[in-house]
Amino acid sequence: MAQQTDFIVIGSGIAGLRASIALASAGSQVTVLTKAKASDSNTEWAQGGVAVVLSDDDNAELHEDDTLEAGAGLCDEQAVETLVTEGTKYILELIDWGTEFDREGGKLVFTQEAAHSRRRILHAGGDSTGKEIVRALIARARQETTINLLPFADTEKLLINDRRCVGVRYADPILKSPRDIFAKAVVLCTGGAGQLYLHSTNPPGATGDGIAMAYFAGAEIADMEFVQFHPTALSVKNAPRFLLSEAMRGEGGVLRNAHGERFMSKYDDRLEMAPRDIVSRSIVREMRRTGTRNVYLDMTSKTEEFLVSRFPAISKTCAYYGLDISKDMLPVSPASHYCMGGVRTDLWGRTTIPGLYAAGEVTCTGVHGANRLASNSLLEGLVFGARAGEAAASDSLNIQVEESSDETSSYGSLSAKVSTAVRKRVKRGMWEWVGIMRDEESLSRAYAEFRQISRAKLSNASRNFVTNALLVARAALWRKESRGGHFRSDYPERSDELRVHSIQEGDKEIDSAPRISF
């Protein structure tokens, strides 16, 4: 039984909620589908904060320069300009909507993070920024009577009719069966694919389904080789990786090896405040040099009172594992954190498929280039979520909802779960062969492995999972240089000839020969 609505938004992180509010403000009926509860998203896990130009000693040009520098020559300058100039407006709007960023004496408090030339990072609850933003946005969304939040509704695929996206098929949480819902347009805000890796700071739902669904629907996918690994994830035996915010280094934390030596001076003049890709590779090299599985983040120069106040959630989590952040050196190692690549969009969230828009980590807007500047992700979701919602509304004024789709757009069997066997093989393969350090041999092995898995009879979720792994591996195989988050030990230098985006065209058959265009 089919349903109708004006617009469908998939995902309820910062991008999805802001897009929904923009659509509802235009007088539209909006259905928001989420695979879990409405507040469960990558946004909720964001600790450090959101970068924005609001302090007296900062300006948009400085923020833009920092973003371009971190992006290693692949940022779209117009996209970066849009981000930093419009970001201030949307952050002030969040504050008007009740978002409670941390203050001292009534004034907003800013912190510093790696590769930023100014203290421009707003935070909330010390290290619970994302959680506070989601709270405020959900409260604001619930003021709009035309927004229908539908949790535990796992999207199975995009519905395409005559090359236009007209709706989605999802697993109805009540009927426990697949159901189609049609709309004028769909806005994809499903987040990234950090869970492709064995060690990740991302929540369990960050499996990249939106990227794969868009690919199978025929959309262009860009820059999938660029994966950011966060340098400092808590590394405790038999425990999942837990993010230790970059703000900890911004507040004076230093990295030490197993011998207690501060080592970043051997790798970069910016020490612990170098861009994330450099710090992550430096940590890997130091671990290999010392024959250890981790290094240490040392915060002991700060008082217990300051650390517990500034990093309450981190302090509590570390204490659970028997670590006092004011007295103990914290064992850390890199973990997958953010995907710079994704569904290719313009500056208004339009993908290469009419009727399909996207915003947030699921996209490649060109803002991040080859390496995301710390704390730009929440700002991107906010700015481009609003723009995607506005564009979808204005572009669809004369569009009618059609309850039909092409039969050829279906694939796989309906299931919300990735099989344990597929998940384990892909995650280990991605970590070992498509990780922080890459080369021709390891990438070729990964690509062959993932192609073999993709030929099996798989559920939609499993096929999405291995498809994303293939998209990353074959783009990384093609890019014979090192740039930003992509490092090839067999091609350690940057190539001017490869200062281009890798674009993989949507294809129903992922196991066909790679087709990459620029």
* Same domain, yes or no: 23 and 144: yes
Longest dimension (CA), the chain: 67
Which residue, 395, 425, 440, sits at the end of a domain?
395
Q: Is the pLDDT of residue 515 over 50?
A: yes
For 92-133, how does the pLDDT look when each residue is reduced to its tens digit (9 = 90+)? Answer: 999 999 999 999 999 999 988 777 899 999 988 877 888 899
Cα–Cα distance for residue pair 447/216, rounded to 1 Å:
18
Count of the separate structural domains present in the chain: 3
Does an H or E element contain 31, and which?
strand 30-33
Mean pLDDT of 26-53: 78
Mean pLDDT of 407-424: 62
User: Tokens representing 59?
Assistant: 């300006």
**Within a domain: residue 401?**
no
Which segments within 378-505 are labelled E, that is strand? 503-504
For 191-208, how does the pLDDT look when each residue is reduced to its tens digit (9 = 90+)? Answer: 999 999 999 999 888 999
pLDDT at residue number 276:
85
* Same domain, yes or no: 250 and 311: yes
* Same domain, yes or no: 165 and 302: no
Q: What is the CA radius of gyration of the chain?
A: 22
Closest CA to 484 of 274, 286, 332: 274
Which residue, 285, 308, 336, sits at the end of a domain?
336
Q: Is the pLDDT of residue 513 over 50?
A: no
CATH code, domain carrying 14: 3.50.50.60
* Same domain, yes or no: 70 and 161: yes
User: Tokens representing 323?
Assistant: 């670590």
Instruction: Read off the DSSP letter of residue 186.
Output: E
* Same domain, yes or no: 8 and 62: yes
Closest CA to 434 of 389, 458, 468, 403: 468
pLDDT at residue number 412:
42
* Same domain, yes or no: 10 and 74: yes
Closest CA to 409 of 137, 164, 55, 230: 164
Catalytic residue among 276, 310, 350, 423: 276
* Same domain, yes or no: 295 and 420: no
For 204-216, how does the pLDDT look when each residue is reduced to its tens digit (9 = 90+)? Answer: 889 999 999 999 9
Question: 289 an active-site residue?
Answer: no
Q: Is the pLDDT of residue 142 over 60?
A: yes
User: Tokens representing 458?
Assistant: 């798989």
CATH code, domain carrying 462: 1.20.58.100
Question: Given pLDDT bands bounded at 50, 70 and 90, which one contains residue 460?
Answer: confident
Percent of the chain with pLDDT over 90: 77
* Same domain, yes or no: 101 and 12: yes
* Same domain, yes or no: 326 and 354: no
Q: Report the 10 Å Cβ neighbour count for 455.
A: 11
**Within a domain: residue 378?**
yes
Mean pLDDT of 412-440: 84
CATH code, domain carrying 238: 3.90.700.10
pLDDT at residue number 114:
76
Please tell me the pTM assigned to this model.
0.91
Mean pLDDT of 274-299: 93
- Region of residue 126 (phi > 0: left; psi between -120 and 50: alpha; otherwise: beta): left
Q: Report the 10 Å Cβ neighbour count for 346.
A: 17
Judged by average pLDDT, the poorest of 43-47, 240-244, 455-459 is 43-47
DSSP secondary structure string, 251-313?
TT-EEE-TTS-B-GGGT-TTGGGS-HHHHHHHHHHHHHHHT-S-EEEE-TTS-HHHHHHH-HH
**Within a domain: residue 202?**
no
Q: In this structure, what are the phi and psi dihedrals at residue 484, rounded to the nearest 5 degrees?
A: 55, -130
For 305-342, how does the pLDDT look when each residue is reduced to its tens digit (9 = 90+)? Answer: 999 999 998 999 999 999 999 999 999 999 999 999 99
Which residue, 315, 336, 357, sits at the end of a domain?
336
Q: Report the 10 Å Cβ neighbour count for 238.
A: 4
* Same domain, yes or no: 19 and 42: yes
Closest CA to 446 of 298, 173, 251, 227: 227
Cα–Cα distance for residue pair 32/26, rounded to 1 Å:
16
* Same domain, yes or no: 132 and 59: yes
Cα–Cα distance for residue pair 38/434, rounded to 1 Å:
32
**Within a domain: residue 115?**
yes
- Could you list the residue range(s) of the whole structural domain that residue 279 is in? 230-336
Cα–Cα distance for residue pair 158/217, rounded to 1 Å:
7
- Measured CA distances, 31 to 23, 387, 400 (Å): 10, 18, 16
**Within a domain: residue 23?**
yes
pLDDT at residue number 413:
44
Are 14 and 129 within 8 A, CB to CB? no
Residues, the chain: 518
User: Tokens representing 463?
Assistant: 């096929």
pLDDT at residue number 409:
40
Judged by average pLDDT, the poorest of 170-184, 327-341, 387-401, 459-473 is 170-184
**Within a domain: residue 306?**
yes
**Within a domain: residue 204?**
no
Q: Is the pLDDT of residue 44 over 70?
A: no
Percent of the chain with pLDDT over 70: 93
pLDDT at residue number 240:
81
Cα–Cα distance for residue pair 209/64, rounded to 1 Å:
31
Cα–Cα distance for residue pair 212/188, rounded to 1 Å:
11
pLDDT at residue number 506:
79
**Within a domain: residue 373?**
yes
* Same domain, yes or no: 118 and 166: yes
Mean pLDDT, the chain, whole residue set: 91
Question: Given pLDDT bands bounded at 50, 70 and 90, which one contains residue 220?
Answer: very high
Q: Helix (H) and strand (E) counts for the chain?
A: 14, 24
